[in-house]
Structure 1
Amino acid sequence: MINNTFLQRGIKKLLLAACAMTIILAIPLSSAAAEPTTIKKFQLYATDGYMTLPDGVQLYIWGYSLTNEPGSATFPAPALEVNEGDQVEIILTNIGPKKSGIKRLAHTIHFHGLDTDQQNDGVPHTSPAIQVGGSFKYQFKAKHAGTFFYHCHVDTIEHLQMGMYGAFIVKAKNGINQAWTGGPSFDKDYVFLLNEIDPVWHQAVEEGKPYDRTNFHPKYWTINGKAYPDSEKDPTSYIDGEVGETVLIRLINSGYEPHSFHMHGYHFQIIASDGRPLPEPVTKDTVLIGPGERYDLLVTFDQSGMFPFHSHNIVDNTNNGAYPGGLHTMIDVKENTPDSSPMLMTIRLKEGRNAVMVNGESMRLPNSPVVLNGTTYIPARFIGEMLGAEVKWLPKEKSIIYTTDKTTIQLWLNSSQSKVNGRLVSLFAPPKEIKGTTMVPLRFIADQLGAKLSKDSKTGEIIFTGAMSVASAPSHQSHTDGTSSGEANGNGGTGSMDQPTSTDPLTVIITTSFMPAKLTIKKGQTVKWVNKDTQIHTVYDLQDKFNSPNILPNAEFSYTFAETGTYTYYCSTHPSMVGEVIVTD
């Protein structure tokens, strides 16, 4: 009996211990299972198109597009951005070329530097390529924050040169501004995707003619698809900041040549290579980046000024032999002066209610906020103008663009893809047209424009708080303007801005060239040169009849022509810039 009782007690203790252990083990298991997984979805289309180089040359390209429209390829492909830990789904549909007579080739996506499995590696040697009319969904988890890129791996040497490549950025968990989760912090980051172009290859592909792939002689070099001076006009390829800011520059060499990138004015730290942190940062002012390599550079601006950032392989700084050009851009750092006229906007709004309170003043919306599947939608123009953004509607693309001095956001109706400062970002909820008004997800726009959201538990109102400049504050009238899907606001094009011109027939505008390059005048007339470039230029006559001092940006120089003849002049700092004045009686 004693032994049986002892045995029974022992069994009971073991059962209790087992139950306790089950409870203890169940807690972390259930907690881990409950942790949500964010899925980032993208849709890309493989097709062809054209790009324009700084000297006006048009180039036939292949690439990836955001729209299901043959001929809409972009150069380079849209930059994709996700966060560490995201599950990524990218559907590639091969819609084929628009141009007739072009071979209808297969395409893939290889995610360069990401350790995907064989099925999602995009290499036709090991998995089927996507034929015209076909689609494939690439699926993988973004395990490591870092700098990567993607490209077609079908006949790689040709397809990559033709333009089938783009940046792929994995940010730290939750998208915070750290180089990697727990790594160095930064205020903002830039992606510089480098490549070079041999127009002979592109022309041969366009005309369906054979060419020698061992005979590769690039004539153009690009940063994010832009060669200087166009790189200075592209906010993704031109660095601006303030003294005291820290900037992360992600260098990606997607081309076939090495480049030696040099920074004026500052030293930077190389903190990561090929998507992985370095054991210790390396302080340099020049970095040699080979084909396929990526480097993350961290720089803190300790002085104001404008400084070049360019390749020190000097030929890389030309456009078809003309200097300056190619892999050259600028770093523009201003003194950190606080905005003297900030305006705090506090907005209270509620689902189903047209009236909103803006800083205590009642206003009416063209359409009341609505909640769809847990997402609050608000009229597109109202939310942008409240934060001082310029708002444009592009009717052909059914797209809305918000522009501030630091941020550009583009969204498309019914699309879960958006562009933020040139990078493709996945949306949880797409913009929609509701009762004739374009409505956008409130939280996404608020987050991107630096506003904060909270909720009044008593009234059920959403409280929206953000800062904007008084100078950019919209009028009360604009608060009531809706952005209907049929609206065109006078600037529906997406092309580059026109070059400045002069209505004065005796004025020459200086940018990266003299415009007009040839001018015919009468004896005794005065010609004025006005510098509209960001660089300093001069006007030097080839026969030394007249020479200007340095003409600073927005400054001018004048000369009166007292004798007839043909005068050829140039910029002594940029001698490839040449102009001519013909003087008649």
Structure 2
Amino acid sequence: MSNNPNTTTTAAAAAGATLAGGEAIAQTMPKLGPLSTASPGPGDYSGGAVDFTRLGIKSEETFGNFGCNVFKENPNTPDWTTANAYFERDVHNVDLRMSDGRELRCWAFGDPLKAPGRAIFPSPTIRVQEGDLVHVKLESSKGSHTIHHHGIEPTTMNDGVGHVSMEVTGSYIYQYQARHAGTYFYHCHKNTVTHFEMGLYGLLIVDPKPDAAGKVAAYSGGPYYDVEQVWVLDDMDPRWHEITNIDHDVGLCGDDGGLNIFEPKYFLITGTPTRPNVPTEAQKIVAAPGKKILIRLLNASYSVLQVKIHGLEAKVISVDGHSLNKPWNSWMTIAPGTAFHMPSAQRYDLYIDTTSLANRGRTGTFKVEFEFQHWITRKVHNVGNPIYEGRAFTTITI
């Protein structure tokens, strides 16, 4: 019997969509940031004390309860504090139409508050402001899941790692404070390898507080930008999706589920399936001359990602949610056409200032190339195949 998530929704038409940041709802709690996708907090909680003896963090750790018999509970949130940024997430099936016409069964977190019943892939962005006290309620009505806010530093029970706390079978409210502006992401940390591959992830952005004029920089004390783009690179092995849709827990108990072989056939930029020699128009950037561009780049693939930006100089201003503008460090300059590489789960914030291009009259359309490389051989996946080769590109037009 399948342990698939609940609520099947076909999302071919919604592929690549993201939630737009709406205005904050009127509230008496601290004001949400100008770009926030949050709702105001739900107020105080009177669920009572947490019984820590029922959870992994207070029990003897064994191979069984770490992998096969992970604690499944729906406790109260410890040290509850009223939040000023509140989100809800549930779990959906999503059928994405790939470049060869095939519909591939994926999963995604849904947003019952802002987009009830709507399938969005990648999952809706969580966007908050530096200093916000954040609550994220997970509703997991079929099968168990968690939410791990990758790069954030909450308490152990709120970290969403089931092996050391619990997996959620009903609902749980994760609590953390967003302390550092930057680009992060969130994902299920139950059967991490497969649930991430299935698509249970979304971007998490923490903005700095706005300045006196209301402008928001890339990070506190960082540069301002005029155009923002998100590029999330992903690869998918359809065989893994077939296995995981049948067995929610494949490989967790030491069984050989065939996950030692990863052979992706499909490649995506922010939910849009790609072709190796066809530009991914949905993810292109268009900016007026003289504008500053901020690109939030996440490698959500299980490949080594190689990136080349032709004709434009880019600066890496932040890595994994932390700025490089430190006394012991500085921005990294990437010359036009120079390849750089990113492992799985890494984030780069790229900053492109087009002022000098405008001054020199060197505007135009510039190609951005992505290669998905095998971790061991470093060869491009399916090299030479006109449909399934692990290459993709989009453009930046100035």
Aligning the two structures, in what range does the TM-score lie when normalised by the shorter sequence? 0.5 to 0.7
Conserved 8 A contact 1:221-1:316: no
Which residue of 2 is the match for residue 110 of structure 1? 148
Which residue of 2 is the match for residue 293 of structure 1? 346
Distance 1:151 1:318 in 2: 30
Q: 1:330 to 1:148 in 2, by over 3 A?
A: same
Render the CA deviation track for 1:102-126: whole Å, top value 9, x for unaligned.
xxx2101001111121121000012
1:80 equivalent among 107, 126, 151: 126
2:95 equivalent among 36, 50, 53: 50
Render the CA deviation track for 1:223-272: whole Å, top value 9, x for unaligned.
111122597342xx221111111101111112221111110110101111
Q: Hey, which of these two has a bigger chunk of strand by percent?
A: 1
Conserved 8 A contact 1:50-1:73: no
Pair 1:64 & 2:109 matched: yes
Letter in 2 for 1:281: W
Conserved 8 A contact 1:317-1:326: no
Which residue of 2 is the match for residue 232 of structure 1? 280
Runs of at least 5 residues in structure 1 that lack an aligned partner in the other structure: 1-33, 97-104, 334-585
The TM-score normalised by the length of structure 2 is: 0.66
The TM-score normalised by the length of structure 1 is: 0.46
Which residue of 1 is the match for residue 158 of structure 2? 120
Letter in 2 for 1:306: T
Distance 1:170 1:144 in 2: 7
Conserved 8 A contact 1:47-1:94: no
Report 1:141-180 matches (<5 A).
141-174=177-210, 176-180=215-219
Quote how far apart the aligned CAs of 1:323 are. 6.7
Pair 1:276 & 2:329 matched: no
Distance 2:91 2:110 in 1: 6
Which residue of 1 is the match for residue 376 of structure 2? none
Distance 2:163 2:306 in 1: 33
1:203 equivalent among 242, 245, 249: 242
2:168 equivalent among 112, 126, 130: 130
Letter in 2 for 1:291: S
Q: 1:117 to 1:140 in 2, by over 3 A?
A: same
- Three-state SS of the structure 2 residue aligned to 1:180 is coil
Distance 2:105 2:388 in 1: 24
RMSD: 2.8
Which residue of 1 is the match for residue 39 of structure 2? none
Conserved 8 A contact 1:110-1:152: yes
1:307 equivalent among 361, 366, 377: 366
Letter in 1 for 2:163: H
Runs of at least 5 residues in structure 2 that lack an aligned partner in the other structure: 1-27, 33-83, 251-255, 374-379
Report 1:169-568 matches (<5 A).
169-174=205-210, 176-207=215-246, 211-228=257-274, 232-234=280-282, 237-278=283-324, 279-284=329-334, 285-301=338-354, 302=357, 303-313=362-372, 315=380, 321-322=386-387, 326-333=391-398
Distance 1:299 1:160 in 2: 30
Q: Which deviates more, 305-314 or 246-255?
A: 305-314
Q: 1:211 to 1:319 in 2, by over 3 A?
A: farther
Q: 1:312 to 1:60 in 2, by over 3 A?
A: closer
Letter in 1 for 2:289: V
- Three-state SS of the structure 2 residue aligned to 1:242 is coil
Aligned residues: 288
Distance 1:212 1:71 in 2: 33
Higher Rg of the two aligned structures = 1
Distance 2:243 2:175 in 1: 35
Distance 1:176 1:317 in 2: 45
Render the CA deviation track for 1:494-523: whole Å, top value 9, x for unaligned.
xxxxxxxxxxxxxxxxxxxxxxxxxxxxxx
Letter in 2 for 1:298: Y
Quote how far apart the aligned CAs of 1:75 are. 2.5
Distance 1:65 1:157 in 2: 20
